Amino acid sequence: MTELWALPRPSLAVVGSDDRFPVRRIYCVGRNYVDHIREMKEGDERDLPFFFQKPTDSLVESGDAVPYPPQTADLQYEGELVAAIGAPGADVSLSDATSIVFGYAAGIDLTRRDLQRDAVRASRPWEMGKSFDHSAPCGPITPAAGVPGIAAGELELTLNGERRQATRLDLMIWKVPEIIHHLSRQYRLEPGDLIYTGTPAGVGPVRAGDSIVVSITGLAPLEVTVR
């Protein structure tokens, strides 16, 4: 009988602690900024939030390199706020939603845009365009108590030192409590879940050798390179 192997559980650093945050699932919100919806020329600005997932082993920590993925000629960045869940919850009310948040981090939803567009045209799932290896860079998690004003913060993404994305987090169509409320009606959220909350306008391509930095008010920056 062949012995089964033990797979390590992906985890992220926690600011101010030697402990790490073990990751269970990665959820992502699509089309959550009006300017990005208009930029991509798809979807309706009044749509309810919708979700897709990435595999947990697609995480890339700050300071690491992202290998340029296969089967694409158009890898693109999407800078995002990430909410880390620290308590279980199903059908969570708006008033209780932030109570299950452990903390926040800066993230990048890397996208094989050409494959995503092919899938949209064929009315197929986005998985090949979104859920590939190394597609979910995420910075260290700052506990929520340390960033009480996160909802009024700002996000900036730079590519090789040049600003490409900049927004206020209060411009999200669906705010963090609303995202948690809607998502928890479809899945039972558990400690270790990450929620990427959507990207603003300014998405664009990256190439081998590029350096990407995502900065969010009050959070540790996320820095990755593409190789």
Whether 27 is in a domain gets the answer: yes
**Taking residues 16-22, what's their average pLDDT?**
97
Whether 103 is in a domain gets the answer: yes
Check pLDDT > 80 for residue 223. Answer: yes
Whether 181 is in a domain gets the answer: yes
- Comparing 5 with 83, the larger pLDDT belongs to 83
State the CATH number of the domain containing residue 44.
3.90.850.10
> Among 20-24, 170-174, 187-191, which is the least confidently predicted range?
170-174
Distance CA 26, CA 196 (A): 8
Whether 140 is in a domain gets the answer: yes
pLDDT at 45: 59
Whether 92 is in a domain gets the answer: yes
Check pLDDT > 90 for residue 67. Answer: yes
Whether 3 is in a domain gets the answer: no
Distance CA 134, CA 107 (A): 12
Whether 55 is in a domain gets the answer: yes
Can you give the pTM of this predicted structure?
0.94
CB contact at 8 A, 191 and 24 = yes
Whether 2 is in a domain gets the answer: no
**Taking residues 207-213, what's their average pLDDT?**
98
Q: How many domains is the chain partitioned into structurally?
A: 1
The model's confidence at residue 8, banded by pLDDT at 50, 70 and 90, is confident
Distance CA 114, CA 75 (A): 8
Mean pLDDT for all residues in the chain: 93
pLDDT at 39: 63
- Please give the residue range of the domain that contains residue 124: 11-226
